[in-house]
Amino acid sequence: MVGRVVELYAVEGLPLVAAGDDLAGLILAALSHAAVPLQDGDIVVIAQKVVSKAEGRSVELAAVTPSSRAIEIAAEAHKDPRIVELILAESNDVLRVRPGVIIVEHRLGLVLANAGIDRSNVEGETALLLPRDPDGSAEQIRARLVAATGAAIGVMIIDSIGRAWRNGTIGTTIGASGIATMRDLRGQPDLFGRKLETTEVGAADEVAAAASLVMGQAAEATPVVVVRGIDLAGTGTARDLLRPKHMDMFR
């Protein structure tokens, strides 16, 4: 007997994205070319890089003048002072510094390495910043996709983020629209009738991790994945997944 089936489609055919591109339109064209019509309940998962590129979040390093603080931290972290200047500009607070990495609280509330600034899969001497408002970006893209297809879908924007207590990065939700990002199972019975007391599931991050496996991290050129068969009906944002600072035992 086969249980519930979950399907993930890596959408091929999306061109290289540049500043000002109509990302929703490009996704619709790629879906049509791949013959993957959207259905009610689908979740369209999009890599952060293509969202940032479309929104013009690329910065020419030649235009960055590092501050004295950036130069000081760069020496400790063994990093380009211009990159460190961008990290500082994108962050609320610097939490840890060691050679190769700077852990910050990003202005979006995310705790992550190097403010999410990346140079992989980015052309020239440039650096790519996270979207200014990933939840808002997800909502705008979802509205376009719903209007074009009539399907009741969700949209997620994900990035590869490390975790303080585990090796390796994992697909993580930084923007969401049209889905319940958290599943609160408190009060529900387990197999033996005991009520769950503390179980809250970061469902959107679980979907992000699965989509990231299909999406790839290098030269796959498939930054959009359609996830089908997972019920995340509801409303929520990626901010719902952030632990409040007063409950963060690691800070």
Average pLDDT over residues 18-25: 96
The pLDDT value recorded for residue 200 is 74
CB 60 within 8 A of CB 125: yes
Q: Note whether residue 2 is domain-resident.
A: no
pLDDT score of 1:
59
Whether residues 238 and 140 share a domain: the answer is yes
Decide if 203 is inside a domain.
Answer: yes
Given this model, what pLDDT does residue 20 score?
95
Q: What is the pLDDT of residues 208-225, one digit of tens each?
A: 999 999 997 655 689 999
Average pLDDT over the chain, rounded to an integer: 91
Same domain, 150 and 231: yes
> Do 84 and 65 belong together in one domain?
yes
Which residues 6+ apart lie within 8 Å of 84 measured at CB? 66, 70, 71, 73, 74, 77, 102
- Helices 81-89, 68-77: axis angle to 10 degrees equals 110
Same domain (yes/no): 79, 13: no
Q: 109 in the Ramachandran plot: left (φ > 0), alpha (ψ -120 to 50) or beta?
A: left
pLDDT (tens digit per residue) in 166-191: 999 999 999 999 999 987 666 677 67
Per-residue pLDDT, 249? 80
- Mean pLDDT computed over 101-130: 89
| 88 and 141 both lie in a single domain | no
Model confidence pLDDT, tens digit, residues 1-11: 567 889 999 99
Residue 165's domain spans which residues?
Answer: 7-56+130-246
CATH number of 48's domain = 3.30.1330.100
Same domain, 36 and 159: yes
Quick one: 120 and 208 in the same domain?
no
* Structural domain count of the chain: 2
What pTM, to 2 d.p., does this model score? Answer: 0.92
Determine, yes or no, domain membership for 1.
Answer: no
In a domain, 69, yes or no: yes
**138 and 174 both lie in a single domain:** yes
Q: In the predicted model, what is the mean pLDDT of residues 84-99?
A: 96
The CA distances from residue 85 to 69, 90, 170, 190, 243, in Å, are 8, 9, 26, 50, 27
8 Å CB contact between 61 and 126: yes
State how far the Cα of 45 lies from the Cα of 145, in Å rounded to an integer.
12
